A and B are shown apart, each in its own frame.
Chain A
């Protein structure tokens, strides 16, 4: 862009440069307006939950809550929002802890292209993306019950499988750009395999690992349907609590608080992941 910003010469070519300059300026303002518009568009849906979460009383057609307060927070707490939040965190972390290493191993093998029937294996690993979780779960609940598989195990299994496509995809891309020469160099310098893994391999793929782990966490964190069908109410995750509140009346402040609670942790986690990987690349 800087190439265009030169003193305008006169004559025909000068007019062309001038036009290009005007175009560039218009494009620049267009981009600014566009950026602000799209950002606003993405942010607008947050507005109602922010307002309702602190509205004790907001009758129609008032524009703003008539009584502000934390009634929604108290009700949500009484409904067990905090234990549900903890449960959801645990579920997300468990799914992440299992699906990330699985995806990393598979991604590494696939990136090297030595997996027998590689294309079929890739297709199978990515297939869960195309299979609606509710369909698998409706079938699986019966089987899991008949085989005596505990609900929690079946739940984690389904969610891990739902997360594997994402972790595999990310890690395959990461390992495709991964230079094994570093490892060999370290080895020729006398580093043990443990040392190579901890000091060379893992630091190099850390940003991708973090991204994969985050997406896998999200699969567990935001699931509603699978927990509803297979957890059969035993696992009261945050989305389940939210779903139950949404099916009853007059709960708008509670719904907003639960929605807010379901939003904050992943956003915080995302910020942490971003900051960490940025710091790493800057180094």
Chain B
């Protein structure tokens, strides 16, 4: 505001302000530009990237609720990045969608470069939404020298929840959905979700799941959808396809029928996976679930979870996915971000974070391609009484549903299970 307005009368000043605000706002409402998110800087060689990256400060936006993940990035990844002249700054967000919101808002505001976000830990529907909004830089992952350790035919790395990756994000971790139980309370552990539901009905109040749209609760919905339909191949590709309505109504019928047997009679659900973990730790329920089972060891070791905690082995396998690092199309430090994404793929880094004591994230590398001495160290990682080794855990792994399914399932659960009973 200019000083001169202060000399006018109050009414005039307010009127001017209102007009100014209106003009500013209408100027803001410019139509959406059609960004495609291609590599317009067009790095031709890794040398150019490495040279540009030197001296850059990269901000990596990632969910901040995982203490070990935070410590790994700060204490292991960041120093290694510093060796290559890149300062890595971790920006903890409460929800990955916050990072995406930021990028999309910036792009909407016409800020096509110099954005606040350089790198995002992302997968699934957040990746897809960003892809639709042209928020990601694409076609850069083949440049990364360490991508040589990846298996190009690995389906988990080619599609992210049904959305083709197409060089718009670089893999970081693999994850396996798992249920855990307290062996002291569950003598005959179920071997399928149907058996688990029967167990829950026989033991009212001792099972529940996090309320979707919590990430873990949402995964539980998809796992249950596989169960009621008979497997991934039985689920239609999209939520609007033929047969989708039948599949979901069977799911809602099952979950609604289960509801009275849940913790607190299904009157409410844990807010998120952390709240379910609290219930499990406090012996209020006998099962918990996670998409990062390697973290279970630490919870048992620090006494939060009972020593009798075990991962439930399901005959039909469980959901598996990979998570990635994506660079926003308007990132201020794209070269630096690429250096960090490359570093994240280095066998030493993948090994370090696979150690449950450090973080416990499963590697995305093809171990046959990794130098022998390092491959041996992967095999030697501390054996656990709680969690079976990854190859056993991921046996018969189910691919994730298309990301198109995620939101409709979450909304459908709300309408048919959560509020439908009342």
* Contact A117 B10, CB 8 Å, known A145-B109, A241-B92, A244-B94: yes
List A200-256 residues whose CB lies under 8 Å from chain B.
Answer: 228, 232-234, 236, 240-241, 243-251, 254
| Given known A-B contacts A59-B281, A60-B283, A147-B24, A247 and B91 have beta carbons under 8 A apart | no
Asked whether B65 lies within 8 Å of A245 as measured between CB atoms, the reply is: yes
**Closest chain B residue to A253, Cβ basis:** B302
CA distance A79 to B278 in the complex (A): 21
Residues of A within 8 A of B75 (CB): 78
Interface string of A54-76 (1 = CB under 8 A from B): 00111111000011000100010
Q: Mark B75-87, 1 if CB is under 8 A from A, else 0.
A: 1000000000000
- Interface contact B25-A247, CB-CB below 8 Å: no
A142 touches B92 (CB 8 A): no
Asked whether any CB of chain B lies closer than 8 Å to the CB of A148, the reply is yes
Cα distance A118–B304 when bound, in Å?
59
**Given A145-B106, A145-B109, A247-B67 contact (CB < 8 Å):** no
Given contacts A147-B28, A233-B98, contact A57 B302 (CB under 8 A): yes
Assess whether A190 is interfacial by the CB under 8 Å rule. no
Give B293 Cβ to nearest chain A Cβ, in Å. 13
Residue of chain B at shortest CB distance from A84 = B92
- With A57-B302, A59-B304, A250-B299 as known contacts, state yes or no: A79 contacts B116, CB within 8 Å: no
Inside 8 A of A192's CB, which chain B residues have their CB? none
Checking A60, A79, A241, A247 against B282 with a beta-carbon cut-off of 8 angstroms, the contacting residue is: A60
Of chain A, the residue at the smallest CB distance from B71 is A78
Bound-state CA distance A75–B66 (Å) is 11
| A248 close to B91 (CB less than 8 A) | no
B281 touches A234 (CB 8 A): no
A146 touches B92 (CB 8 A): no
Interface residue? A22 (CB, 8 A): no
Residues of chain B within 8 A of A58, CB atoms compared: 303
| CA distance in complex: A54, B229 (Å) | 49
Chain A 109-150: CB-based contact to B (< 8 A → 1; otherwise 0):
000000011000100000000000000000001110111100
Counting CB contacts under 8 A, is A151 at the interface? yes
Report the minimum CB–CB distance from B358 to chain A (whole Å).
13
**Complex interface: chain A residues within 8 A of B94 (CB):** 228, 240, 243-244, 247
Chain B proximity mask over A75-119: 1 for CB below 8 Å, otherwise 0: 100111000000000000000000000000000000000001100
Residues of B within 8 A of A151 (CB): 116
Contacts of B74 in A (CB 8 A): 78, 80
Given the contacts A147-B28, A250-B277, A232 and B116 also touching, CB distance less than 8 Å = yes
| Given A247-B274, A254-B67, A142:B108 Cβ within 8 A | yes
Mask of B47-78 contacts with A, CB within 8 angstroms, 1/0: 00000000000010100111100110011000
B379 at interface by CB-CB < 8 Å: no
Q: Assess whether B61 is in contact with A233, with CB atoms less than 8 Å apart.
A: yes
Please tell me if the beta carbons of B281 and A250 are within 8 angstroms of each other in the complex.
Answer: yes
Residues of chain B lying within 8 A (CB to CB) of residue A67: 303
Residues of chain B within 8 A of A59, CB atoms compared: 281, 303-304, 306
0/1 per residue, B104-123, Cβ < 8 Å to A? Answer: 01101111000010000000
For chain B, give the interface size range. Answer: 35 or more
The answer to whether A232 and B277 have CB atoms under 8 Å apart is no
Q: What is the bound-complex CA distance between A177 and B90, given in angstroms?
A: 51
Beta-carbon contact of B272 and A247 below 8 Å: yes
Q: With A and B bound together, what is the CA distance between A209 and B94 in angstroms?
A: 36
- In the complex the two chains form, what is the Cα distance from A249 to B98 in whole Å? 20
Q: Is the Cβ of A142 less than 8 Å from the Cβ of B28? A: yes
- Chain A residue with the shortest CB-CB distance to B306: A59
Number of A-B pairs, beta carbon distance below 8 Å: 114
* Residues of B with C-beta under 8 A to A228: 94, 98
Q: Does B102 contact A (CB under 8 A)?
A: yes
Min CB distance, B283 to chain A, in Å? 6
Chain A residues with CB under 8 A of B101: 232
Instruction: Out of A66, A232, A236, name the residue touching B98 (CB < 8 Å).
Output: A232
B111 pairs with A250, CB closer than 8 A = no
Complex Cα–Cα for A117 and B25 (A): 27
Q: Evaluate contact between A233 and B283: CB separation under 8 angstroms.
A: no
- Would you call B325 an interface residue if the criterion is a C-beta within 8 Å of the partner chain's C-beta atoms? no
On chain A, the residues within 8 Å of B66 by CB distance are 248
Closest B-chain residue to A60, C-beta based?
B282
Instruction: State how many angstroms separate the Cβ of A86 from the closest Cβ of chain B.
Output: 16
Determine whether the beta carbon of B303 is less than 8 Å from that of A251.
no
B273 adjacent to chain A (CB < 8 Å): yes
CA distance A254 to B302 in the complex (A): 13
Contact A233 B93 (CB under 8 A): yes
Residues of chain A lying within 8 A (CB to CB) of residue B4: none
User: Which residues from B are CB-within-8-Å of A241?
Assistant: 64, 92
B325 to chain A, nearest CB (A): 16
Q: Would you call B294 an interface residue if the criterion is a C-beta within 8 Å of the partner chain's C-beta atoms?
A: no
Which residues of B sit under 8 angstroms from A146, Cβ to Cβ? 28, 108-110
Contact residues, B13-65 vs A (CB, 8 A):
24-25, 28, 59, 61, 64-65
- At the interface, yes or no: B326 with Cβ under 8 Å from chain A? no
**When chains A and B are docked, how far (Å) is the Cα of A75 from the Cα of B282?**
22
CB distance from B68 to the nearest CB of A (A): 10
* In the assembled complex, B9 has its CB within 8 A of some CB on chain A: yes
A200 to B276 CA separation, bound complex (whole angstroms): 61
* Closest Cβ neighbor of A145 among chain B residues: B109
In whole angstroms, how far apart are the Cα atoms of A247 and B305 in the complex? 17
Q: Which of B92, B99, B109, B111 contacts A244 (CB 8 A)?
A: B92
Closest beta carbon of chain A to B90's beta carbon, Å: 9
List 11 interface pairs A-B (beta carbons < 8 Å), by A numbering.
A61-B282, A71-B302, A79-B70, A116-B9, A141-B105, A146-B108, A234-B91, A234-B116, A249-B273, A249-B276, A250-B277
Q: Assuming A146-B108, A250-B305, what are 8 further A-B pairs, CB within 8 angstroms?
A: A57-B303, A78-B70, A146-B109, A232-B99, A233-B64, A249-B281, A250-B304, A251-B65
User: What 6 A-B pairs have minimum CB-CB distances, sorted nearest first?
Assistant: A248-B65, A249-B277, A244-B64, A249-B274, A146-B28, A146-B109
Which of A's residues lie within 8 Å of B, judged by CB?
A: 56-61, 66-67, 71, 75, 78-80, 116-117, 121, 141-143, 145-148, 151, 228, 232-234, 236, 240-241, 243-251, 254
Which residues from chain B sit less than 8 Å from chain A, CB to CB?
Answer: 9-10, 24-25, 28, 59, 61, 64-67, 70-71, 74-75, 91-94, 98-99, 101-102, 105-106, 108-111, 116, 272-278, 281-283, 298-299, 302-306
